[in-house]
Amino acid sequence: MTTPLLKLSGLGIRFGGLVALDAVDLTVAPSTITCIIGPNGAGKSTLFNLITGIYRPTSGTVALQGDPITGLPAHRIAARGIARTFQSSRLFEDLSILDNVIIGMHGRTRTDVLTALLRPAKSRRELEACAAEAETILRGISDELFARRYQPAGILPQADRRRLEIARALASHPKLILLDEPSSGMDDRDTAALMADIRRVMADNPGLSFLIIEHDMRLVAELPDNVVVIDYGKKIAEGDFATVRQLPRVQQAYLGQKAVEHA
Amino acid sequence: MESLILQHLLNWLVLGSIYALVALGFSLLFGLLNVIHFSHGDVSMIAPFVALGSLQAIFGITGGAMGVLPILAALAIAILVTGLIGIGADKLVISRFRRSPAMMALVATVALGTVIRELIRGFYPQGSNPKAFPAIAQGFLEIGPLRLPAQPVLIVGTTVLVVALMYGLMQKTPIGTRIRAVAEDAATARLMGITPSRIFAFTFFLASAAGALGALFFASHAGVVRFDFGVQLGLIGFSAAVIGGLGSMTGAILGALAIAGIESIVQANIADGASYRLVFAFLLVILMLCLRPSGLLGKPVFEKV
Amino acid sequence: MSTTLTNIHSRTTLPASLIVAATEIGGAILLGAFLLAESTPLVVALLAVMGALFAAMQYRPQIEEVIVAAFHDARGLATALAVAIVLIYPFFLGGNTYALHLLIVSLLYSVLALALNFQLGSANIPNFATGATYGIGAYTSALLAIHLGWSFWATLPAAAIVATVFGFLLGIPSMRTRDSYLALVTIAFGIVIHQMLNNLSWTGGPNGLVGIPAPSLLGHSFMRPIELFGFRLPSQANFYYLSAALLGLAILSAKRLHESRVGLAWNAIRADELAAKCQGINVVWYKILAFGVDAFLAAFAGTIYAFYISYISPDNFTFLVSVTIMTMVIVGGMDNTLGVILGAFLLTMLPEKLRVFSDYRLLFVSVVVILFLILRPKGLFPQRQRHYGGQR
Ligand SMILES: Nc1ncnc2c1ncn2[C@@H]1O[C@H](COP(=O)(O)OP(=O)(O)OP(=O)(O)O)[C@@H](O)[C@H]1O
Ligand SMILES: [Mg+2]
Q: What is the pLDDT along chain B (305 residues), one digit of tens a residue?
A: 467 788 888 899 999 999 999 999 999 988 888 778 889 999 999 999 999 999 888 777 766 667 778 888 999 999 999 999 999 999 999 999 988 887 788 888 989 999 999 999 988 988 889 999 988 888 888 877 778 888 899 999 999 999 999 999 988 999 888 888 888 888 888 888 888 888 999 999 999 999 999 999 999 999 999 998 999 899 899 999 988 988 889 999 999 999 999 988 888 887 776 778 888 888 988 888 888 888 888 776 667 77
Q: How far is B94 from chain A (nearest CA, A)?
A: 24
Contact C135, C166 (CB under 8 A): no
pLDDT tens-place string over residues A24-81: 999 999 999 999 999 999 999 999 999 999 999 999 999 999 999 999 999 999 999 9
Contact status of C264 with chain A (Cβ, < 8 Å) = yes
Q: In chain C, which residue's Cα lies nearest the Cα of A90?
A: C275
**In chain A, alpha helices (H):** 44-51, 74-80, 97-103, 113-118, 120-141, 143-147, 158-170, 188-204, 217-222, 241-244, 248-262
Whole-angstrom CA distances from A246 to A35, A252, A259, C218, C234 are 16, 10, 18, 89, 91
Whose CA is closest to C348, among C300, C290, C301, C384? C301
**In A142-187, alpha helices (H):** 143-147, 158-170
| Predicted pLDDT at B65 | 62
Which H or E run contains B59? helix B46-59
Helix (H, G, I), strand (E, B) or coil at B121: helix
Contact B97, C373 (CB under 8 A): yes
Supply the ipTM of this predicted assembly. Answer: 0.93
| Predicted pLDDT at B273 | 67
Range C141-153 average pLDDT: 91
What's the gap in Å between A42 CA and the centre of ligand 2? 8
Contact C146, C211 (CB under 8 A): yes
| Predicted pLDDT at C390 | 67
CA-closest residue to ligand 1 atom 10: A20
User: What CATH number belongs to A6-90+172-262?
Assistant: 3.40.50.300
Contact B212, B78 (CB under 8 A): yes
Ligand 1 binding pocket (C-beta < 6 A) is A 15, 18, 20, 38, 40-46, 87; B 302
For the sheet with A33-37, list strands across it.
A82-84, A176-180, A209-213, A33-37, A226-231, A234-239
Contact B127, B121 (CB under 8 A): yes
pLDDT tens-place string over residues A203-225: 999 999 999 999 999 999 999 99
Whose CA is closest to C189, among C140, C142, C134, C143? C134
Shortest CB distance from C188 goes to which of B93, B106, B286? B286
pLDDT at A259 over 70: no
Range C74-102 average pLDDT: 87
Helix (H, G, I), strand (E, B) or coil at B1: coil
Ligand 1 nearest-atom number relative to CA A15: 4
Residue B59 φ/ψ, nearest 5 degrees: -110, -5
Range A145-160 average pLDDT: 93
User: Domain locations in chain A?
Assistant: 6-90+172-262, 92-155
What's the gap in Å between A180 CA and the centre of ligand 2? 7
Helix (H, G, I), strand (E, B) or coil at A235: strand
Contact status of B271 with chain A (Cβ, < 8 Å) = no
Task: Sort out which chain B residues have CB atoms less than 8 A from A48's CB and list them.
Answer: 305
What's the gap in Å between A39 CA and the centre of ligand 2? 9
| Predicted pLDDT at A224 | 94
Whole-angstrom CA distances from A11 to A21, A50, A60, A64, A202 are 7, 8, 4, 14, 27
Task: Sort out which chain A residues have CB atoms less than 8 A from B100's CB and list them.
Answer: none
Higher pLDDT, C46 or A91: A91
Contact status of C2 with chain A (Cβ, < 8 Å) = yes
B66 exposure class (CB count in 10 Å sphere: 0-12, 13-18, 19+): middle
Q: Which ligand is nearest to the CA of A40?
A: 1
Confidence of residue A119 (pLDDT cuts 50, 70, 90): very high
Contact A84, A169 (CB under 8 A): yes
Distance CA A128, CA A145 (A): 19
What's the gap in Å between A40 CA and the centre of ligand 2? 7
A76, A98, A127: which to substitute to probe chain C, counting the most C Cβ within 10 Å? A127
Q: In chain A, which residue's Cα lies nearest the Cα of C250?
A: A117
| Predicted pLDDT at C2 | 42
- Ligand 1, from A14, A18, A22: best to mutate by most atoms within 8 Å of Cβ? A18
Which residues contact residue A196 at a Cβ distance below 8 angstroms, ignoring those fewer than 6 apart?
Answer: none
Contact B90, B200 (CB under 8 A): yes
**Strands A176-180 and A82-84, how do they pair?**
parallel
- Residues of C engaging B, defined by a Cβ cutoff of 8 Å: 120, 124, 126, 172-173, 176-181, 183-185, 187-189, 191-192, 195-196, 198-199, 274, 319-320, 323, 326-327, 330, 359-360, 362-363, 366-367, 369-370, 373-374, 377
Cβ separation of B119 and C173 shorter than 8 Å? no
CA-closest residue to ligand 1 atom 6: A15
A49, A76, A92, A176: which to substitute to probe chain C, counting the most C Cβ within 10 Å? A92
pLDDT tens-place string over residues C30-61: 888 888 888 888 888 888 888 888 888 878 88
Write out chain C in H/E/C secondary structure. CHHHHHHHHHHCCCCHHHHHHHHHHHHHHHHHHHHHCCCHHHHHHHHHHHHHHHHHHHHCHHHHHHHHHHHHHCHHHHHHHHHHHHHHHHHHCCCCHHHHHHHHHHHHHHHHHHHHHHHHHHHCCCCCCHHHHHHHHHHHHHHHHHHHCCCHHHHHHHHHHHHHHHHHHHHHHHHCCCHHHHHHHHHHHHHHHHHHHHHCCCCCHHHCEECCCCCEECCEECCCCEEECCEEECCHHHHHHHHHHHHHHHHHHHHHHHCCHHHHHHHHHHHCHHHHHHCCCCHHHHHHHHHHHHHHHHHHHHHHHHHHHCEECHHHHCHHHHHHHHHHHHHHCCCCHHHHHHHHHHHHHHHHHCHHHHHHHHHHHHHHHHHHHHHCCCCCCCCCCCCCCCCC
What's the gap in Å between C78 CA and the centre of ligand 2? 52
Q: What's the distance, Cα to Cα, between the start and end of chain C in Å?
A: 13
For the whole model, what pTM was predicted? 0.90
| Predicted pLDDT at A211 | 97
Contact status of B305 with chain A (Cβ, < 8 Å) = yes
Contact A211, A179 (CB under 8 A): yes
Shortest CB distance from C279 goes to which of A103, A111, A126? A103
Name which of A177-181, B22-26, C201-205 the model is least confident about: C201-205
User: Domain locations in chain C?
Assistant: 97-355
Whose CA is closest to B235, among C188, C192, C174? C188
Cβ separation of C277 and A78 shorter than 8 Å? yes
Q: Which domains does chain B have, with CATH numbers?
A: 2-291 (1.10.3470)
Contact B216, B48 (CB under 8 A): yes
Query: Which CATH architecture best describes the domain C97-355?
Result: Orthogonal Bundle (1.10)
pLDDT tens-place string over residues C316-351: 998 888 888 988 998 888 889 999 999 999 889 888
Contact A42, A233 (CB under 8 A): yes
Distance CA B274, CA C108 (A): 34
Distance CA B206, CA B82 (A): 10
Higher pLDDT, A257 or B149: B149
Task: Sort out which chain A residues have CB atoms less than 8 A from B302's CB and list them.
Answer: 15
